[in-house]
């Protein structure tokens, strides 16, 4: 089992939802975790909460994955603070769901810029640091990256693209000692797409479940790489 204490992670979109769940799980392992948000106050609030009950350490950073310079600055601040980067979790994402007849160009561009180009920027900004540490890249895709559905034209396009991007990057970097995986969750209990989590969503994947999955991937022996992990609720409601 790999010792994660004092390892350093960057989690994009880590102030809430899946990103927060991942950051919390990593910090409980003793890792130092920088979480990003487009709002510094949101990042700071989440980092303060994470620091209260964990043995690692959280740092809140304002960064927009849609802006390459912003991502580079986030990595620079992390490196200035802790001197290394062992894990990038490219999590930031959003969704607009509508028929192609109603889907707007603005919604399409926002999804492409965040879910796909944003991950490219995050990986590019982190690459030199990850080469030095022979670190790990984990992207958060979706089962929508392999299963298409009506009303999902834009979201499907970004997640199909993200899954393919991550698998190609895995092949690009594996001989340099960098591991690359994508996690593809089904229904997750978060505020995504204006959902309001409550007990009616207890059947869904919880954010702490995905946090544990990232920890498990980090603990796996370096010779073994689960490059694409599909994860579903074990017993969804019958339709």
Which residues are designated catalytic?
Answer: 155
**Is the Cβ–Cβ distance between 120 and 112 less than 8 Å?**
no
How many whole angstroms separate alpha carbon 123 and alpha carbon 121?
5
- The CB density around residue 177, as the number of other CB atoms within 10 Å, is 12
Question: Which ranges in the chain belong to alpha helices (H)?
Answer: 17-28, 40-52, 68-82, 105-111, 118-133, 153-173, 207-219
Integer angstrom CA distances of residue 224 from 1, 217, 218, 220, 227: 12, 9, 11, 7, 9
């Amino acid at each position: 089992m790999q010792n994660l204490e004092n390892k350093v992670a960057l989690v994009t979109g880590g102030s809430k939802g899946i990103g927060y769940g991942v950051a919390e799980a990593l910090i409980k392992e003793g890792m130092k975790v920088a979480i990003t948000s487009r709002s510094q106050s949101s990042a700071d609030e989440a980092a303060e909460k994470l620091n209260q009950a964990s043995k690692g350490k959280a740092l809140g950073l304002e960064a927009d994955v849609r802006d390459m310079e912003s991502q580079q600055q986030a990595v620079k601040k992390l490196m200035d603070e802790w001197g290394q980067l062992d894990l990038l979790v490219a999590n930031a994402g959003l969704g607009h769901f509508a028929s192609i007849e109603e889907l707007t160009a603005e919604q399409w561009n926002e999804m492409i810029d965040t879910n796909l180009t944003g991950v490219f920027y995050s990986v590019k900004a982190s690459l030199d640091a990850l080469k030095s540490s022979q670190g790990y890249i984990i992207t958060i895709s979706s089962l929508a990256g392999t299963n298409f559905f009506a009303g999902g034209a834009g979201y499907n396009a970004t997640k199909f693209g993200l899954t393919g991007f991550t698998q190609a990057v895995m092949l690009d970097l594996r001989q340099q000692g960098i591991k690359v995986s994508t996690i593809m969750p089904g229904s997750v209990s978060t505020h995504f797409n204006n959902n309001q989590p409550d007990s009616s969503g207890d059947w869904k994947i919880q954010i702490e479940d995905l946090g544990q999955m990232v920890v498990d991937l980090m603990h796996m022996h370096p010779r073994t790489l689960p490059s694409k992990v599909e994860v579903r609720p074990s017993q969804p409601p019958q339709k």
